[in-house]
């Protein structure tokens, strides 16, 4: 009998998380003066062995986007500061990287008027759904994992410091036991290029589901990176794209999400259409 012992290190996957939207319930037009309809959290997952190479895409985006521009190139990437053409270029650059991303969105108008809903309950559901799906992805890769959240306001940071380690190590059975000890970090966006990348994916997902002042959504960025959405059993919805409450898209204003609704149960049209 062979006494060989496999000492190869276990694969490690790191998840970097940013959010888009707010926790308010004051809906109306113009959007800049009211709450967003959606609160979304997006995790970008990358194998640690690929991470250094993947981070170089930030420098490449800046070089490509501002090489002939009179304006001063940005020192970091932040989705909201870019024009449409830059956003298309950025999505195309990221689409070539070995990322897997997961977006969880809470459609707040459905919950409006229910007194039990507040910012902590929103955070409770969005973090539960997100950590479940991150753990499923890491488990399917037979890996261990870590999560790094981008910092925000103090109350939010304090909530995460208590909530995430508890979900990792004492959470429900729906969260797979894949997380390393001390595997949670809260870091400022400008300190890590991977969090800047997470900010971009969060913006891409938000643009695809958050209507503008005229009720339109911008899905072209999401279509460019849709092949990177986490899938399970061949399905996107409820896995790489988890929207709550269920049927949020069909209950939202007619026409806002036609490109997603047309993709069917598995999201195959989103994956195949890069227009």
pLDDT digits (tens, 9 = 90+) for 79-131: 999 999 999 999 999 999 999 999 999 988 888 766 677 788 889 999 999 99
151 falls in which pLDDT band (50, 70, 90)?
Answer: very high
| Per-residue pLDDT band at 1 (split at 50, 70, 90) | very low
| pLDDT value at residue 230 | 96
Confidence of residue 188 (pLDDT cuts 50, 70, 90): very high
CATH 3.30.420.10 fits 12-272, yes or no: yes
| pLDDT tens profile 31-74 | 777 888 899 999 999 999 999 999 999 999 988 887 766 677 78
Identify which has the larger pLDDT, 234 or 175: 175
Q: Which region among 22-26, 46-50, 104-108, 194-198 has the lowest average model confidence (pLDDT)? A: 22-26
Residue 150 has pLDDT above 90, yes or no: yes
Output the pLDDT for position 213.
Answer: 86
Q: Which of 112-126, 136-150, 208-222 has the lowest mean pLDDT?
A: 112-126
- pLDDT interval class at 159 (50, 70, 90): very high
What percentage of the chain has pLDDT greater than the value 90? 55
Domain boundaries, the chain: 12-272
pLDDT at 251: 52
Say what the pLDDT of residue 265 is: 45
pLDDT value of residue 255: 42
Distances (CA, A) of 242 to 9, 43, 105, 138: 32, 12, 6, 17
Asked whether residue 186 carries a pLDDT value surpassing 80, the answer given is yes
In this predicted structure, what is the pLDDT of residue 5? Answer: 44
How many other CB atoms sit within 10 Å of the CB of residue 109? 15
pLDDT of the residue at 70: 66
What is the average pLDDT across 205-227? 90
């Amino acid at each position: 009998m062979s006494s060989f012992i496999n000492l190869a290190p276990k694969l490690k996957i790191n998840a970097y998380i940013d959010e888009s939207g707010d926790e308010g319930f004051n809906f109306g037009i113009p959007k800049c003066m009211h709450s967003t309809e959606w609160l979304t959290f997006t995790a970008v997952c990358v194998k640690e062995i690929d991470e250094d190479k993947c981070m170089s895409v930030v420098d490449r985006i800046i070089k490509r986007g501002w090489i002939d521009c009179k304006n001063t190139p940005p020192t970091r990437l932040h989705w909201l500061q870019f024009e449409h053409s830059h956003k298309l270029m950025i999505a195309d650059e990221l689409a070539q990287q070995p990322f897997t991303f997961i977006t969880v969105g809470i459609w707040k108008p459905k919950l409006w008027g229910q007194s039990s809903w507040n910012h902590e309950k929103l955070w409770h559901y969005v973090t539960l759904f997100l950590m479940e799906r991150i753990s499923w992805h890491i488990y399917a890769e037979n890996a261990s994992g870590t999560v790094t959240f981008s910092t925000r306001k103090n109350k939010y940071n304090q909530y995460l410091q208590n909530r995430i380690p508890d979900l990792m190590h004492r959470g429900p059975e729906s969260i797979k036991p894949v997380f390393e000890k001390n595997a949670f970090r809260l870091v400022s966006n400008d300190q890590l290029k991977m969090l800047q990348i997470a900010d971009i994916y969060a913006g891409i997902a938000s643009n695809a589901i958050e209507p503008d002042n005229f009720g339109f959504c911008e899905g072209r960025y999401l279509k460019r990176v849709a092949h990177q959405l986490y899938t399970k059993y061949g399905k996107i919805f409820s896995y790489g794209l988890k929207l709550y409450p269920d049927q949020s898209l069909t209950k939202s204003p007619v026409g806002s999400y036609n490109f997603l609704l047309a993709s069917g149960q598995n999201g195959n049209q989103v994956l195949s259409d890069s227009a």
